[in-house]
Amino acid sequence: MSRCPFCGAVDVFLDERVGEMVCGGCGAVIEEKGFSTEPTQKMLLSSGGGVGPRVTKLLHDMGVGTMRSGRLSSPEERLMTRVLSDVFWVADKVGVPKAVAEKAGELARKAVASKLIKRSRKPTAAALVYIASNHHGLCKTVEDMASTTDVPVNQLNREIGKIIFGLRIKVKPLDAFRFIERIAKNLELDAETTDAACQIFSTSNAGKKLSGRKPSAVSAAAVYLACKKRKIKITLNRVAEAGGISVLTLRKTVYLLEAILEESGKRG
């Protein structure tokens, strides 16, 4: 075997002491007729038992059983270990699925290899998890991430921008309809009110006319106007809190959205 199936390294050699093929890059134990069935000592991120290599991008050596287990031979590996540890902490704190955490670990590897990350910091880990959440289509705002991880919003934005531009990542626009559903759920509103808010957003073409506004603010404004239309008594404070925005931001967005709706009505 000339190439490692885990990390792709070509530094594969035969350990004559035990008669096994071993990758010199990641340390994976590889046999000529298959993978080793010796139990791995690495059980992080897994509560159950098992045999053979456990592959995860949240460990510096991909989580495979290695002959160098516990030895970090380079500064890059030591940095990678600290960064992935912070990523795991943030992912657990925010409560994202394992697939998102794995994606954040993949991004961390690329960022360290590209010299974008030179030391481990919580804002960096939060930025990686945010970008991974966006990749998987989760409804997470920068404000949500900053509040949960106790990282200043401006600092988190800088880290997100650095990683996005450094790795040339295309960020998906946040879905306003998912924000509407989340806000309505937080306020325990019925399906008819949620549909009315989505209808207000669609008919007003707010996605284009309010493109410079936060998706959470536009969605919250649509929910507030839907409640107003359906004669549901609710305060700006409650809607703003459910949307994770300030009352002042919500009030301004409501005025703008009302103006757009009024203009659309006249044209109609």
The 10s digit of each residue's pLDDT in 31-72 is 654 444 444 444 444 445 444 445 555 554 555 444 444 455
Residues 160 and 184 in one domain: no
Contact indicator for 176, 216 with CB cutoff of 8 Å: no
**What pLDDT score does 265 carry?**
64
Question: d(Cα 70, Cα 246) in Å, to the nearest integer?
Answer: 48
Q: Do 64 and 89 share a domain, yes or no?
A: no
pLDDT tens-digit series, residues 67-114: 444 455 678 888 888 888 999 999 999 888 888 999 999 999 999 989
Nearest to 145 by CA among 63, 154, 136: 154
Beta strand 34-35 with 20-23 is: unpaired
Assess whether 181 and 258 both reside in one domain: yes
Residues 213, 158 within the same domain: no
Contacts of 170 (CB under 8 A, 6+ apart): none
pTM: 0.59
The answer on 158 and 90 residing in a single domain is: yes
Q: Are residues 103 and 187 in the same domain?
A: no
Mean pLDDT over all residues of the chain? 78
Residue 55 within any structural domain of the chain: no
Residue 102, amino acid: E
* Three-class DSSP category at 124: helix
Q: 250: which 2 tokens?
A: 């919500």
State the total domains in the chain.
3
- Supply the CATH number for residue 5's domain: 2.20.25
* pLDDT of 158: 92
Q: Is residue 10 part of a domain?
A: yes
> Does one domain contain both 81 and 162?
yes
How far apart are the C-alpha atoms of 99 and 191, rounded to whole Å?
A: 30
Looking at the fold, whether 151 and 187 belong to one and the same domain comes out as no
Kindly tell me if the per-residue pLDDT of 259 is higher than 50.
yes
> Are 89 and 126 a contacting pair, CB within 8 Å?
no
Residue 187's pLDDT band, with cuts at 50, 70 and 90, is: very high
Q: Do 80 and 21 fall into the same domain?
A: no
Are residues 186 and 154 located together in one domain of the fold? no
Q: Average pLDDT for residues 149-172, to the nearest whole number?
A: 90
- Domain for residue 222, yes or no? yes
Q: How far apart are CA 41 and CA 257, in angstroms?
A: 58
DSSP class of residue 53 equals: -
Domain range holding 221? 176-267
> Quick one: pLDDT at residue 266?
54
Pick the more confident residue, 74 or 182: 182
Residue 51 lies in a domain: no
Query: What is the spatial distance between Cα 183 and Cα 80, in angstroms, rounded to a whole number?
Result: 37
At residue 138, the pLDDT reads 79
How many Å apart are CA 231 and CA 95, to the nearest integer?
36
CA distance 19 to 21: 7
